[in-house]
Amino acid sequence: MACIYIVPIATESLFWLEPLTAGIFRSFGMRTKCAKVNIDISKAFDPLRQQYNSSYLLRELIAWPFAHADKVLGIAAVDLFIPILTFVFGEAQLEGPGAIVSMHRLNNKFYGMPENQSLLVQRIIKESIHELGHTFGLLHCSFPGCVLNASTYVEDIDQKSDKLCARCQQQLHIM
């Protein structure tokens, strides 16, 4: 049976896995499996930027032979970038098989604030559903509360819900 594979990258701590699994099921009605794979992240590292190339990691991720995988979602603990941008919260292939999300800038610690694990989990769920939405063909949504609304600041992520708006849900079913 087809499912979404969740792949932790550069992290052993999986406190976010269970709520994320529930969130994905709520949004897409699909089961998830967690798979630990051995991706060499050092090849994605840019010493000048001290960040990891998101596109490289995504390519590595989708090249992995997962059985019956409908989509693959990488959850990375490291800071991700694409060459043209200073950073990305995540990256996805539009109507493609894979997406990747970075927890690095979703964590309050990055902004010099006290850690808040439940807020971090909420942000991981929102960004994961957002990026997975792209893999299902959804574009950014102009409705501010929709999880597919574009976010360039972590505050933007906090403003929106972890749900697809009615229009995005409808589009998802059409697709």
Binding range to another protein, per CB under 8 A, among 28-36, 68-76, 78-86, 164-172:
78-86
Closest contact distance (angstroms) between CB of 67 and another protein is 28
Task: Say whether residue 85 binds another protein (CB under 8 A).
Answer: yes
Closest contact distance (angstroms) between CB of 175 and another protein is 15
Helix axes 117-135, 17-28, angle to 10 degrees: 40
Query: How many residues comprise the chain?
Result: 175
Could you confirm whether 127 is annotated as catalytic?
Answer: no
Among 113, 140, 158, 170, binds another protein (CB under 8 A): 140
Q: Which residues contact 37 (CB under 8 A, 6 or more apart)?
A: 7, 61, 64
Among 5, 16, 28, 81, binds another protein (CB under 8 A): 81
Task: Say whether residue 84 binds another protein (CB under 8 A).
Answer: yes
Amino acid residing at 119: L
Q: What six digits make up the tokens of 156? A: 């933007």
Task: Say whether residue 47 binds another protein (CB under 8 A).
Answer: no
Closest to 76 measured CA to CA, from 109, 124, 116 = 124
Task: Say whether residue 153 binds another protein (CB under 8 A).
Answer: yes
Closest to 126 measured CA to CA, from 111, 145, 98 = 145
What's the first-to-final CA gap in the chain, in angstroms?
A: 19
Closest contact distance (angstroms) between CB of 157 and another protein is 12
**Dihedral sign (CA 29, 4, 24, 98):** negative
Q: Which residues bind another protein (CB under 8 A)?
A: 49, 55, 81-88, 91, 94, 134, 139-140, 150, 152-153
Q: Which residues are catalytic?
A: 131
